[in-house]
A and B are shown apart, each in its own frame.
Chain A
Amino acid sequence: MTTALFIQLVVNGLVKGSTFILIVLGMDIILRGTKILNFAHGQFYMLGAYTLFMLCRLWHVNFLLSLILSGLALVLVGALSYLSVFGVIQRRFTPTTPFTYRLLMSAMASVGLMLILQQGTLIAFGTTERGMPSIFPQIITFGDVRLSLEKLLIILFSMFICFALYLLMYKTKLGLAMRTVSFDPEIASLQGVNSFWMFMICFALGSALAGIAGGIIAPVFAVTPTMGTHIIFTAFLVLLVGGIGSYKGAILGGVLVGLALSFGFHFFGGISELFVFVLVIVILIFKPGGILGEVLD
């Protein structure tokens, strides 16, 4: 393997990994904050992509503005989803409701939501893949390594979002409140934090991250009604690899899985996804909670 090929594979892996990072960070925020295992998260990613496609391609809105609006649209979708589905289910739980039961009930509800959103999109947009021209079509070359500017921006944007999220979670009162609620909602209530609103904010923020991930991908690849279903299961693998409930784990897991897919495909071809499953199994044998995660009780 030449150095150029190695670097190209790393770059390909980082591009893939960056998308996973954004999606899994959103899943982590939701899972940690609200204890909801959200299978509809992939559909939020898909909705973000379609929103950007509509704004940019059909209504000719500026790309950056479209991306912000996609995020905001998914904040709304996330908040409504929580209010109408998950919030209703959670209100039925009592302090003695087992954690596994809570997780299972919310997961089942999320599967229903996933199907509704996917079918709704199919009805609204049809089955055809929709493509749009690249926003940044330039190619950057480093010796024999080639990278399109749009893919480089995906990596940089993902890093920016990670940093912004770090600032939010660890340097703001809102972030402190979200972390307190994720630790123990009752204690948070005693501190004057409205747990219900915090749950909704966690859900909306997580959904927005998925929507933004979809929005940045839309001009690079294609938007399809099934893109969310396709990515969600790999996203869960990333979550397991990095560690459930760990933000750093989400970043590490995204990078590892992206690289595994990139290198795995090059050397093993179509069974590269199997390679990722093997990686997950090996990691979970030695670290049941993921590399940087904790085992949720």
Chain B
Amino acid sequence: MERKGLTVVLLSTILIAAFMMFIPLSNASAAEVKTLKVGCTLPLNVGFGVETKKALEIIVPAFNKAGGFDINGQKYKVDLIIYDDKYRPNIGRAAVERLVNKDGVKFNVCQIGSGPTLAGLTVTEPAKVVTFCGGASSKLIGPKTQYTFGTSTTRTSIMALWLTAKKVFPNAKTVVNLSPDDKTGHARAKTETKIAESMGLKVLDTIYYPRKTTDFAPFATKVMTLKPDLVDYPGAVAGTQLGLQFKALYEAGFKGGHISAMTPKMDEVTAVAPKEALEGVLATMTATEIPNPPPMAKEFKEAYIKKYGNWSTASLTWIPAWYAFVEAVKKANSVDPQVVAEVISKEGLEWDSPTYKARLVKRPDLGSNRYCDVVGASSYGQIKDGKMRFVGKPDLNEIIVASEKLYGGNWR
């Protein structure tokens, strides 16, 4: 009898101990990887929108495969939901509404173009959805926005382009801008005009063209009557259309310099413009193309070529927004958008991407004393004999100091 009782006690103890061991295991498996929905709208009716989607389809799965986010022991993988905004404000807004109201995203990344992004802000700001976006308009980061962070260097790092341009074209005195006639083109032209003038150059005119233009002969004729030393292309699409502009100016007899803040898609540009038309074009060069590229840039390029069989730089202007988002969540150690917005607005952010190293800055000149805009250490190159050759890369601090001088205030 006593032996029976002892057996029961022993068995019970063993069972309880086993059960106790099992509970932590259950909790461990109950700590499942959660899904963090992140939204994105892209113009899938244009090449750079499609390229950005293709790039994100490499980057996001790689991020998830590497473990995703680990926030206080809770793992998150990202489910990136991409909708087409056709580069139009009304469609962009509708897409963002769907992301926020139906899909329930709390973060929005990689939006391109001021038009659709500004329209989307009317949804994301009241809903406290943190947006890392690529539009050029200053309204994206003005005092009325709290959850929007500009990751397009078009507002600030154009300074870097012009710092380089002054070195490459030291005798240039006059500039004409050729810009698309939309919000982005106007915003970019305004920014680049201000910077060019701060460098002592005179902007003779800004000539606007409809976004879909392919016949640039009339614009080239007008440029020739103005006789500038340089032609700048604020807001231009970096592929075939840019090549057609170079071609038209070459045919019109333009012999001055060309400056482009966008990285030309060399395969498209060289397909339409003869080598002579491209000689000496100064343009942004992504980190993937410079001699001895950084590891992140090299890995991204290799992964892209492996997946798609070819290479395109078109997405590199827009994907830094993703990397900013990742660093922001890590810095805030939270997936709560309110917390993320507060932390990076107060403390700033630095991040690396295949395109460049970047840093958030304040914009007191725009009435915004939070960290909201970006400065990036872009590289620049000139086209020689049909190929981009590295020219130089201004220092991040040099760009910030020059920007502070131009726009005023303390950006750091």
Q: Does B243 contact A (CB under 8 A)?
A: yes
How many A residues touch the partner, as a band?
Answer: 20 to 34
Contacts A127-B44, A129-B214, A230-B212; A222 near B251 (Cβ below 8 A):
no
**Interface membership of B208, Cβ < 8 A:** yes
Contacting chain A: which of B45-53, B64-72, B89-97, B337-345? B45-53
* A148 lies within 8 A of B251 (CB): yes
Smallest CB separation, A76 vs chain B (Å): 26
For residue A115, give the distance in angstroms from its CB to the closest CB of chain B. 15
B368 within 8 A of A: no
Contacts A129-B214, A131-B268, A132-B271: A146 and B252 contacting too (C-beta < 8 A)?
Answer: yes
Convert A124-151 into 0s and 1s, putting 1 for each residue whose CB lies closer than 8 angstroms to a CB of B: 0011111111100101000000111001
| Known contacts A128-B47, A131-B243; A146/B253 CB under 8 A | yes
Tell me whether A108 is interfacial, beta carbon within 8 Å: no
Residues of chain B within 8 A (CB-CB) of A226 are: 212
B271 lies within 8 A of A127 (CB)? no
User: In the complex, which of the residues A9, A148, A222 contacts B272, with contact meaning CB atoms closer than 8 Å?
Assistant: A222
User: CB-CB < 8 A to B271: which residues of A?
Assistant: 130-133
Q: Is A261 located at the chain interface by the 8 A CB criterion?
A: yes
Interface string of B201-241 (1 = CB under 8 A from A): 00000011110101101110110010000000000000111
B214 pairs with A227, CB closer than 8 A: yes
B50/A127 in contact, CB under 8 A: yes
Asked if B274 is at the interface of the complex by the 8 Å CB criterion, the answer is: yes
Quote the shortest CB–CB distance from B209 to chain A (angstroms).
8
Q: Which of B261-305 contact A (CB under 8 A)?
A: 268, 271-272, 274
- A15 x B45 contact (CB < 8 A): no
Determine how close the nearest CB of chain A comes to the CB of B51; give it in whole angstroms: 9
Q: Is B181 an interface residue (CB 8 A)?
A: yes
Which B29-79 residues have a C-beta within 8 angstroms of A?
A: 44-47, 49-50
Q: Find B244's partner among A8, A222, A227 (CB 8 Å cutoff).
A: A222
Query: Is the pair A265, B222 in contact by a Cβ cutoff of 8 Å?
Result: yes
**Separation of A107 and B330 alpha carbons in the complex (Å):** 58
Given A127-B44, A146-B251, A224-B212: A266 and B221 interface contact (C-beta under 8 Å): yes
- Residues A222 and B217 in contact, CB atoms below 8 Å apart: no
Contact B50 A128 (CB under 8 A): yes
Residues of A123-182 contacting chain B, CB below 8 A: 126-134, 137, 139, 146-148, 151
Partner of B240, one of A137, A222, A261, A270: A222
Residues in A neighbouring B47, C-beta threshold 8 A: 127-129
Would you call A262 and B218 a contact (CB within 8 A)? yes
Counting CB contacts under 8 A, is A5 at the interface? yes
Which residue numbers of B lie inside 8 Å of A, CB to CB?
A: 44-47, 49-50, 181, 207-210, 212, 214-215, 217-219, 221-222, 225, 239-241, 243-244, 247, 251-253, 268, 271-272, 274
Nearest first, the 6 closest Cβ-Cβ pairs linking A and B are: A131-B272, A221-B214, A129-B240, A128-B47, A131-B240, A265-B218
